[in-house]
Structure 1
Amino acid sequence: MKDPIKLSCLKCPSFCCKMAGYVQVTPTDIRRLARHLGLTVAQFEERHILKVTRKGEKLIKPGFETCQFLGENRRCTVYEARPKDCRGYLCWEAEDRTVYDNARFIQHTVARQVRDDRAE
């Protein structure tokens, strides 16, 4: 399958931060995020670790809930310090294009509405 068209995150309704499952943080992620937020590691963990799995994995986004670091403007409030899971996240996978297809549908729908509004 050829790669899908690149999507603009600025136009996206933030599916990756709302629907895309879990975000696990490593000890390195935790230190980086704590430093970015001006917190100690213990303070960060107390305030922002929402779940610890049976394997001991620490999650800042459990399941299909909106990420706690997603701002009202649909932008990541900790972008510079975002976890490894977020840095490596793709808007699509070859086997499961759900997020990509949803984002693409929304972008095309919004673009069509803008064109219709301008034509009036």
Structure 2
Amino acid sequence: MSSSSGFERRFACTGCGKCCTGRGSYVIEVSRREQRRIQRFLGIGRDWLRRRYVFRFDDERESVRMHANGDCVFLEEGKRCRIYAVRPAQCRTYPFWPELETRQAWRAEARRCEGILLGKSKITVRAE
């Protein structure tokens, strides 16, 4: 594909965990439905989930908490996700997010994520 008609986005997760670390004020939006799945998966109640793992970041939305260093609270030793099987949609769809659709944003994220530019799956994005 020529650069004048768009660009290809490739991604293959390497399991490095960098997408879950050091993002600072970044939010991982988590719906009520996703929260219920996490509760069942962890075997905890709603109050405990909200106290330990979730915070409200505006009038209507909630996010997974981050540690002071910016790491997700569900990231365990070895950079593995404790709730991988029931992780929120935002985590499942990384890095194919709207804010990473431009060539410039994709390249910037590739400096952070070793899995970007790898893999056989391609998504073609129209020219900017």
TM-score normalised by structure 1 residue count = 0.69
**Matching residue of 1:16:** 19
Offset at 1:91? 6.2
Structure 1 segment 25-104 matched on structure 2, within 5 A: 25-49=30-54, 51-61=55-65, 65-90=70-95, 93-95=100-102, 96-97=105-106, 98-104=108-114
Instruction: Specify every segment of 5 or more residues in structure 1 that has no aligned partner in the other structure, as ranges.
Output: 106-120
Offset at 1:9? 2.3
The answer to whether the 8 Å contact 2:21/2:72 transfers is: yes
SS of the residue 1:54 aligns to:
coil
Give the distance between the partners of 1:2 and 1:90, measured in 2 at CA: 15
The answer to whether the 8 Å contact 2:19/2:113 transfers is: no
The answer to whether the 8 Å contact 2:53/2:65 transfers is: no
Per-residue CA deviations over 1:8-42 (Å, capped at 9, x if unaligned) read 322x3x22111452101100011000000001122
Structure with the larger helix share: 1
Of structures 1 and 2, the one scoring higher in RCO (CA 8 A, sep 6+) is: 2
SS of the residue 1:25 aligns to:
coil
Structure with the larger strand share: 2
Offset at 1:88? 1.7
Give the distance between the partners of 1:62 and 1:73, measured in 2 at CA: 17
Which residue type is aligned with residue 94 of structure 1? E
| RMSD of aligned alpha carbons | 2.5
Which residue type is aligned with residue 102 of structure 1? R
